[in-house]
C-alpha cells in the first residue's frame, strides 16, 4: 500500500514542501484522472476551484497538466468557495471536482480536496486507490486523447444564483445591515454579491486578497475585526467565513460570537418544530459541546456523534438519512441544499430565521448554556509520537480518573496540521484547567 497522502480533508501541507509540491500535484492529477476516466473517450471532465493563496496558481497548473495527460478535460473556475465546487461538479455533470485550499490555515499552507460526480467528498477507499496510483504510476492517454483546459468565467455567478434559491422567496433582507467577513478568501466576491442581491445593506470585511493575507486577522478563526465592525456600524448581524467559505461563525448585534454548535442548535430546533428534521437527530462530531447534547435531549431529539471531520459527518448523515449536521468549528451541512459544509448557506439560513421570527441575532444565536470546555493545541515535529510516551499515557489515565462522572476528555491528532489537540469539558472550571494543563505539559515535554 502507498504512503498515506490524504488526511481528514484531502491532501494538505506547507506549499512547496512534500506533499504540497507541483510534482505531487501533477501525479495526483494524473492519478485522479485515471481513476475517474472510466473509458477511452474524451467526454470526461473535471472542475477545479481554488481560494486566494499564492501557491494556488502553481498547484492549479500542475493538477491541470496531470489531468490532461490522462485524457480529462479541465474546467477552471478560479476563486470560488469549496461548496461551489461540490455544487458545480454535480450540476455541470463533471466526473470529478477539485478544490485547492487549506481552508482556515495560513497562506503558506495549501491543500487539495476531491469531490465525486455526485458532488460529495470522496470516500476513504477512493482516496486510498488514488494514493496507490500516485505511488505506482498511471498509463497516460495517447497523443490524440490528451485533454483540454479552459476557463469558466460564470462559475461564481452560477453558485450565487443557486445560493439565493435556498432563501425562501418570501424572505427579503431589505433593511438588514450585515457585516460579511470573507477572510480574504474564496468567497470575497460571491458572498457580498449574494447578500446585496437579496436586498441587504452589506458591509464587507476581508475582501482584498493579495495571496498572503487569507485568514490573517479575519474570518471565522479571527472574529475580532468583524465583531468590532458590527459594533462600529450598528449592524444587525455579522457572518464570518473561513478561507474557503465552508465554515461560518455568527456575530450578533452586541458583538458576541456564536459557534457551529449554537447555529446547529437553533436550526435543529426550528426544523424539528416545522417537521423537517429528518430522523429526529442532528449529526455532529465528538468535539461538539455537551450543552448541545443536553439541549437536543430536552426536546426529544438525538445527537449522533462522529469522529472529527465534516466528511465523516456527511457519511453518517447519508447512511442514516439525516439532513442536518456539522461541526463546532462552523461546518454546517444541510443535505437538503448542499453536499458539503457551506458557510454562506448557513449564514443565509440564520439571517432568514431572523426575518421570519422577527428576533434579533442575539436571541437566535444563544440557544443553550455551554458546558465549560477547554481546547489547547501542541505542535510536534514529523516523526514524533508524543501520544505514545509513557509519561503522557500516565497523565491521561490520571485525568480520565479525575473527570470520571464529572466531564469528558478527548485527545487526538489533527488531521490537517501537525498538532495534538487536547480538549476537555467539565462543570468544575478549576478541575478543567488543571486536567488540560497537566496533559499539555507532558505532551509538550514529549514533543521536545
Q: Tell me, what CATH number does 290's domain have?
A: 3.40.120.10
| Per-residue pLDDT at 3 | 63
The pLDDT of residue 40 is above 90: no
| Per-residue pLDDT at 405 | 86
CA 433 to chain centre: 28
Which of 256, 282, 306 terminates a domain? The answer is 256
The pLDDT of residue 416 is above 80: no
| Per-residue pLDDT at 418 | 85
Residues 17 and 70 in one domain: yes
The pLDDT of residue 1 is above 60: no
Of 207-216, 227-236, 258-267, 382-391, the range with the lowest mean pLDDT is 382-391
Residues 211 and 271 in one domain: no
Sheet hosting strand 257-258, strand order edge to edge: 201-205, 177-181, 237-241, 248-251, 257-258
Q: What is the mean pLDDT of residues 239-262?
A: 97
The pLDDT of residue 115 is above 70: yes
Residue scoring higher pLDDT (37 or 296): 296
Q: How confident is the model at residue 2 (pLDDT cuts 50, 70, 90)?
A: low
Residues 188 and 172 in one domain: yes
| Per-residue pLDDT at 245 | 98
Q: What's the domain count of the chain?
A: 4
List pLDDT tens digits, range 122-137: 988 999 999 999 999 9
List pLDDT tens digits, range 333-348: 999 999 999 999 999 9
* Domain extent at residue 271: 258-342+360-364
Q: Whole-angstrom Cα distance, residue 380 to residue 4? A: 18
Q: What is the mean pLDDT of residues 76-100?
A: 97
List pLDDT tens digits, range 311-327: 899 999 999 999 999 99
| Per-residue pLDDT at 37 | 85
Q: How confident is the model at residue 214 (pLDDT cuts 50, 70, 90)?
A: very high
At 177, is the secondary structure helix, strand, or coil?
strand
Residues 206 and 121 in one domain: no
Q: What is the mean pLDDT of residues 275-283?
A: 98
Is residue 37 in some structural domain? Answer: yes
| Per-residue pLDDT at 124 | 87
Which of 234, 256, 278 terminates a domain? The answer is 256
The pLDDT of residue 8 is above 80: no
Q: What is the mean pLDDT of residues 256-280?
A: 97
Q: What are the residue numbers of the active site? A: 103
Residues 269 and 179 in one domain: no
Is residue 334 in some structural domain? Answer: yes
Residues 401 and 271 in one domain: no
Q: At 415, which CATH number?
A: 3.30.310.50
Cell of 61: 497548473
Q: What is the mean pLDDT of residues 85-112?
A: 96
| Per-residue pLDDT at 11 | 94
The pLDDT of residue 104 is above 60: yes
Residues 292 and 200 in one domain: no
Is residue 392 in some structural domain? Answer: yes
The pLDDT of residue 228 is above 80: yes
Is residue 403 in some structural domain? Answer: yes
| Per-residue pLDDT at 149 | 97
| Per-residue pLDDT at 242 | 98
Residues 85 and 179 in one domain: no
Report the Cα–Cα distance between both ends of the chain, in Å, rounded. 31
Is residue 162 in some structural domain? Answer: no
Q: What is the mean pLDDT of residues 257-286?
A: 97
Q: Whole-angstrom Cα distance, residue 426 to residue 403? A: 7
Taken in order 89, 90, 92, 94, the sign of the CA dihedral is positive
Residues 182 and 110 in one domain: no
| Per-residue pLDDT at 28 | 97
Contacts of 63 (CB under 8 A, 6+ apart): 25, 26, 28, 29, 48, 74, 98, 100, 112
| Per-residue pLDDT at 38 | 75
| Angle, in degrees to the nearest 10, between helices 22-36 and 56-69 | 40
Mean pLDDT of the chain: 94
Residues 16 and 108 in one domain: yes
Is residue 178 in some structural domain? Answer: yes
Residues 277 and 399 in one domain: no
Is residue 294 in some structural domain? Answer: yes
Residues 120 and 209 in one domain: no
At 89, is the secondary structure helix, strand, or coil?
helix
Is residue 1 in some structural domain? Answer: no
Strand residues in 30-132 grouped as ranges (E): 45-50, 73-79, 96-100, 109-115
Amino acid at each position: 500500500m502507498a504512503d498515506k497522502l490524504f488526511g481528514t480533508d484531502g491532501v494538505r501541507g506547507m506549499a512547496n514542501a512534500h506533499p504540497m509540491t507541483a510534482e505531487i500535484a501533477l501525479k495526483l492529477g494524473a492519478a485522479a484522472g485515471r481513476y475517474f476516466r472510466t473509458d477511452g473517450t474524451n467526454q470526461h471532465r473535471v472542475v477545479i476551484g481554488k481560494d486566494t493563496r499564492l501557491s494556488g496558481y502553481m498547484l492549479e497548473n500542475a493538477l491541470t497538466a496531470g489531468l490532461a495527460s490522462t485524457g480529462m478535460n479541465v474546467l477552471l473556475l478560479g476563486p470560488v468557495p469549496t461548496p461551489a465546487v461540490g455544487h458545480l461538479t454535480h450540476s455541470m455533470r463533471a466526473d470529478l471536482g477539485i478544490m485547492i485550499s487549506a481552508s482556515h490555515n495560513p497562506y503558506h499552507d495549501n491543500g487539495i480536496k476531491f469531490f465525486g460526480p455526485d458532488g460529495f467528498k470522496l470516500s476513504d477507499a477512493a482516496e486510498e486507490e488514488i494514493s496507490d496510483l500516485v505511488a505506482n504510476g498511471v498509463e497516460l492517454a495517447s497523443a490524440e486523447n490528451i485533454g483540454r483546459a479552459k476557463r469558466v468565467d460564470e462559475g461564481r455567478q452560477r453558485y450565487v444564483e443557486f445560493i439565493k434559491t435556498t432563501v425562501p422567496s418570501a424572505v427579503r433582507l431589505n433593511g438588514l445591515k450585515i457585516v460579511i467577513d470573507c477572510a480574504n478568501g474564496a468567497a470575497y466576491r460571491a458572498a457580498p454579491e449574494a447578500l446585496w442581491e437579496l436586498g441587504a445593506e452589506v458591509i464587507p470585511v476581508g475582501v482584498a486578497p493579495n495571496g498572503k493575507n487569507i485568514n490573517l486577522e479575519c474570518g471565522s478563526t479571527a472574529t475580532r475585526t468583524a465583531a468590532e465592525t458590527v459594533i462600529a456600524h450598528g449592524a444587525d448581524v455579522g457572518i464570518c467565513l473561513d478561507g474557503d467559505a465552508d465554515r461560518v461563525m455568527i456575530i450578533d448585534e452586541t458583538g458576541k460570537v456564536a459557534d457551529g454548535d449554537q447555529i446547529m442548535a437553533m436550526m435543529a430546533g426550528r426544523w424539528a418544530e416545522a417537521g423537517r428534521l429528518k430522523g429526529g437527530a442532528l449529526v455532529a462530531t465528538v468535539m461538539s459541546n455537551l450543552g448541545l447534547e443536553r439541549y437536543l435531549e430536552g426536546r426529544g431529539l438525538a445527537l449522533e456523534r462522529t469522529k472529527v471531520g465534516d466528511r465523516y459527518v456527511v457519511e453518517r448523515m447519508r447512511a442514516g438519512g439525516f439532513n442536518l449536521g456539522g461541526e463546532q468549528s462552523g461546518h454546517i451541512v444541510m443535505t437538503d441544499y448542499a453536499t458539503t459544509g457551506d458557510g454562506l448557506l448557513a449564514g443565509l439560513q440564520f439571517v432568514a430565521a431572523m426575518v421570519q421570527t422577527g428576533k434579533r441575532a442575539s436571541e437566535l444565536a444563544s440557544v443553550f448554556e455551554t458546558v465549560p470546555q477547554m481546547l489547547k493545541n501542541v505542535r510536534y515535529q514529523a516523526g514524533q509520537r508524543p501520544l505514545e510516551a509513557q509519561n503522557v499515557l500516565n497523565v491521561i489515565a490520571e485525568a480520565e480518573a479525575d473527570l470520571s462522572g464529572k466531564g469528558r476528555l478527548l485527545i487526538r491528532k489533527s488531521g490537517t496540521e501537525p498538532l495534538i489537540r487536547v480538549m476537555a469539558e467539565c462543570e468544575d472550571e478549576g478541575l478543567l484547567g488543571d486536567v488540560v494543563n497537566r496533559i499539555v505539559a507532558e505532551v509538550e515535554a514529549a514533543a521536545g
